[in-house]
Every structure is written in structure tokens, then in C-alpha cells.
Structure 1
Amino acid sequence: MKLYKAKTNFKSNFIIQLSAMMIFSVAIIIIQDFPWFLILIVPIFMAPLLWGLSQIHKNVTYIISGENLFVSAAFINRIIDVKTIRKIEKSNNFIATGTDRATAPSSKALEILYNKYETIKVSPENESDFIKDLLEINPNIKVII
């Protein structure tokens, strides 16, 4: 059993999320004609929320055990049979959404294509060892980096 922690871009993610929240809040305040002092209050309430979200990202783990890859991220737990993995490729998609953001908190991630049409993004701290361990189980994986 090998455990890999996810790499995170905590500072950049936090700044981007806070900026997006500020822009969204300003837009709502302008559209709804709210008082302008609310723009100053929004960061006070949003910072703890974003900090909590970033703590969830710190607990993302990938475990290779037997012939399975276990992806654990907050409320998302996936078990992938390594024998079904077809391809691993680099993904530099900075705007990841949904489960991609949860399972790969870093913008520089690996996209794993498995089964027929399923994909998942992961961002292990040590990518080369992670790929090497997967290739030991399934040498037919096509790696595009």
C-alpha cells in the first residue's frame, strides 16, 4: 500500500477564490442597488469560508493498494481498478470545476482515463513515483507528459 498526498496551490487558490467572490459580490451589490459599505464586509465573511474549503483540499489522498487506486477527497471516494486505466496525461486546466477541483486541488494535475469514457484528475506530490507505481501494476498504460 502506497499513500500519496495531493499537492495544493493554497495561496494562489485562496487569492483567486477570494477575488472571484469579491467580483461576484460587487456585481450583486451594483445590480441589486445595495449599500456600498457591504463591499468591505464581504471579505470578512468570505475569508473563513474559503479557508475552510482550502482545508478540505489539504486532506486529499491517493492510495495504491493491490490493483486498486483509492481517491479520497472530502466527500468523494472513488475506487479505480488500475487494470482499467488506459491513459495518463498532463492537465494544466486552471479552471477545474466540480469533482476535478476536489480530487486535484492543484492546477497542474494528471488526468487519468479509465474504463471506456471515465476520467478523474489527480495531483500527487510525487508524480513520477505515482506513475511508476501504476505502471508496475498495469504496464499497458499510455503515459503522455
Structure 2
Amino acid sequence: MKTYKAKKSKFIHYLLAIFALLSGVGMYSMFSEGKTVGILALLPLILFLWIYFDTGYKTDTTYLYYRSAFIDGRIEISKIVQLHVGKTMWSGLKPAISSGGIIIKYSKYDEIYIAPQDNDKFVNDLLTLNPKIKVVTSG
């Protein structure tokens, strides 16, 4: 099974810093205002860290597996029809935390957006498993 790390944009790193700062303020208020306020301030940071560290992709000979916190699933590689490389999907299923990834069209009408660190390696590995996949690159 091959594992692919998710690409993480600079914007995501800035958000992480902001959430950490706000959670620090929440921790301070936990000691001065009460535990409930501090715990509520930590919840967004915990959710964000879960998404940040748990987003990734795996392939075996049959399936592409994706995971991003509470979003996970698998796609049968033989059902992948088309890959749009370098494009960003702004709505729909997006287990990704960066732009400029890959839109995967599979089955008849299904699509998903992922953003591995190395699009080219990911596409080449999928083409090795299913050479019938049509690849479209965005300029």
C-alpha cells in the first residue's frame, strides 16, 4: 500500500497559528473566567489539528483511500475515468487542505477533490494501476 501526504498551503499554516493564538487566549481565560470558556476556546483548535494531521491518501492495487478527519472513504481505481490535475474544486467532497490538487471523476457522475504533495507521482501511480484514465492538466 502506497501512502501520499496531503499538500498543506501557507494559508492553512496561517490559520493554524491564528487558532493556536486564540486557544492560548482561551486557556488564559480558563484560569480567570472558568473552565467552560477555556474548553470552548480549545474546540476549534482541536478540530483544526485533527484535519491538519489526519488528511492523506493511500492506494493499493484495487482502491484509492482518502481521509481527512471525519471524512473518509475509498474509490475503486478501475472506476476512475478522468483526472483534472492542477485544478481546484470549490464545492463538493474535498478531503484536502490546499488548492491546485486533482479532481477525480469516477463512476458515472461522481467526483472528489484531493491534493497530494506530489500530483505527478500520484497521477503516474494511478495510471500504472489503471492506464484507461484520461488525464487533463490545467495550465
Which residue matches 1:138?
130
Structure 1 counterpart SS, 2:8? coil
Paired amino acid for 1:13:
I
Write out aligned runs for 1:113-132 (5 A).
113-132=105-124
Task: Please state how far the C-alpha of 1:135 moved relative to its aligned partner.
Answer: 0.3
CA deviation digits over 1:108-136, x for unaligned, max 9? 21000000000011111111111111001
The Cα RMSD (Å) is: 3.0
Task: Give the structure-1-normalised TM-score.
Answer: 0.68
Q: 1:77 aligns with which of 72, 75, 79?
A: 72
Q: Is the 8 A contact 2:16 2:45 kept in 1?
A: no
1: distance between equivalents of 2:47 and 2:91? 14
Q: Gaps (5+ residues) in structure 2?
A: 27-39
Identity %: 32
2: distance between equivalents of 1:15 and 1:115? 36
Paired amino acid for 1:80:
I
Task: Give the structure-2-normalised TM-score.
Answer: 0.71
1: distance between equivalents of 2:43 and 2:108? 37
2: distance between equivalents of 1:53 and 1:106? 17
Task: Please state how far the C-alpha of 1:44 moved relative to its aligned partner.
Answer: 4.5
Q: Is the 8 A contact 1:8 1:58 kept in 2?
A: no
Question: How many residue pairs are counted as aligned between the two chains?
Answer: 120
Task: Please state how far the C-alpha of 1:74 moved relative to its aligned partner.
Answer: 0.9
Q: 2:63 aligns with which of 54, 65, 68?
A: 68
